[in-house]
Chains A and B, each alone.
Chain A
């Protein structure tokens, strides 16, 4: 479903600040795969996400989604195939617009937008039905401005908006990192539920190793623009946080920085 071939990306090329963000990276997700990505800051996780979503174009290599080469397809066109939830709960919704208007915008992600009414009776019923699955009572607040919702509610809404049109690829970019522990748990549970319900091909970046182990069927660890460790479904089930840290030290021969240890 998603294939990265020999992806290479360098920032500030030819200057003293030159940094290789991704080095000839290969990745292949089969339909229904849910891969979690861990790695320290600067490992290239965000660059990876931005290359898949089309915010960045690779220097070398190909991005293939659903058998189509989308390497140079513009971000807004590519987002017909891709759903993305951002780390910042404020980033995925329009605060000055109502819940139903936000949902209507998300609903027309896969179509071209014309001069038909955005929120129709039929759509409203559909939105209500979908909002009920969040168990947050948002189905009774369709006309409330999204800016009035809490961070957790907004992130749950973002997750719903991105997924209910069943994207080919779902990108989750540390989407629980900015929430308090109980809200983060709620969003994690919702993520699991939704991804399973639609059988979405998913790539999730996280700093939380426990979350990386709990969710998904595959796991990769990145460092300095490369995949340094990969676990398939069978191997992943046997992993623990301690084993992951051991693995990292064995490969890199250095202790993970202390701030990462805090986040476990």
Chain B
């Protein structure tokens, strides 16, 4: 059990990169981008094929990131220049990428188990630092010691670095224009911004992060599979929505942190749900859908109940006031 939980936090930290990408398209650009299902696998496929072919895994991962960027730009082009509806342009790109991913891999599954990957290299680097024993002491009471702390800590660090980069990017002149594009397109166009270009670049960056996440997940799991992206957009949305509901989204700095938290939390919930006896691995998509529905509906119900309680309190208070003034009135009458 602790192994599974530890593993889900590790994976959550890697999936957080994908969730940050979805946050960029879904929240910042207000563009529900289904390309994610395809570009996640594109990242995985490119990295896997290059690594098997002997490329340095870090370089392979970087190339995967650029491929994701290109895929996102294509979706942006379809939408802006082809004037295709956002959802449809994402779906078209997703379906096209399925075939492209198969072509890249040449088969439906590329194993990486015996290869040198980013994950194995980072674990090796971490071991050379010799910090694990000290960290194990933290969990001494539980009698559980993970194989390595390296992946968890380095991947969390990566997610945080990407988060800080996104935060500061969205505060630049260019970033402000991207945010305004998702917020009020008429306005930003009247301030001399090329909204087509901003959308294309925005979607490119979003899918670059998704592909990076895909490349790392493939190396983490030890394989790339053509079906590994199915439902990825929903997982991304789940992470964004859960994160925002629990950790808040008042400012961008807070929202991006919330998205990372949401991604990890999502993995934890799924891991715990799969422990329930009557649920099977195949039920995962159903669980995901259920979680998203809960994250969307529950906050609204809570808010409505709070509002009702406030109303009740106000009603009681105004009644009390009315009674008090009534008594005073009676007192004055008897005195006179």
Contact = CB atoms under 8 A, between A and B. Distances in A.
A, B in one complex? yes
A113 B175 CA distance: 9
A94 B190 contact: no
B173 A94 contact: no
Contacts of B175: 118
A106 B191 contact: yes
A92 B173 contact: no
A116 B173 contact: yes
A95 B188 CA distance: 12
B168, B175, B184, B192, most chain A CB atoms within 10 A? B192
Nearest to B169: A115
Given A114-B174, A116-B173, A118-B176, A79 B183 contact: no
B184 A93 contact: yes
A114 B173 contact: yes
Interface in A65-112: 75-77, 79-80, 82-84, 86, 90-97, 101-102, 104-106, 108-110
Interface in B171-189: 171-177, 179-180, 183-184, 186-189
A119 interface: yes
The contact size tier of chain B is: 20 to 34
B184 A94 contact: yes
Contacts of B187: 91-94
Contacts of B190: 53, 75, 79, 82-84, 86, 92, 162
Contact of A95 (B171, B184, B186, B189): B184
B193 interface: yes
Given A93-B184, A97-B179, A104-B176, A119 B191 contact: no
B180 A108 contact: no
A115 B184 contact: no
Contacts of B191: 79, 105-106, 108-109, 161
A85 to B, nearest CB: 9
A117 interface: yes
B186 A115 contact: no
B148 interface: no
Interface string B143-184: 000000000000000000000000011011111110110011
Contacts, number: 88
Contacts of A96: 179, 183
B283 interface: no
B189 A76 contact: yes
B183 A94 contact: yes
Interface in A32-82: 53, 75-77, 79-80, 82
Contacts of A97: 176, 179-180, 183
A195 B242 CA distance: 49
A109 B179 CA distance: 15
A161 B192 CA distance: 13
Interface string B59-94: 000000000000000000000000000000000000
Contact of B171 (A53, A80, A91, A119): A119
Contacts of B174: 113-115
A226 to B, nearest CB: 27
B173 A118 contact: yes
B173 A115 contact: yes
B327 interface: no
A116 B172 contact: yes
B194 interface: yes
Given A105-B188, A116-B173, A117-B172, A94 B194 contact: no
Contacts of B176: 97, 101, 104-105, 113, 118
Contacts of A106: 191
Contacts of A75: 189-190
Which of B172, B173, B177, B190 gathers most chain A CB within 10 Å? B190
A94 B180 contact: yes
A94 B172 contact: no
Interface string A11-39: 00000000000000000000000000000
B195 A76 contact: yes
A94 B169 CA distance: 18
Contacts of A162: 190
A88 B175 CA distance: 25
Contacts of B168: 117
A96 B179 CA distance: 9
B182 to A, nearest CB: 8
A70 to B, nearest CB: 13
15 contacts: A53-B190, A75-B190, A77-B192, A77-B194, A79-B191, A90-B184, A93-B187, A94-B180, A94-B187, A97-B176, A101-B176, A101-B179, A105-B193, A114-B174, A162-B190
Interface of A: 53, 75-77, 79-80, 82-84, 86, 90-97, 101-102, 104-106, 108-110, 113-119, 161-162
Interface of B: 168-169, 171-177, 179-180, 183-184, 186-195
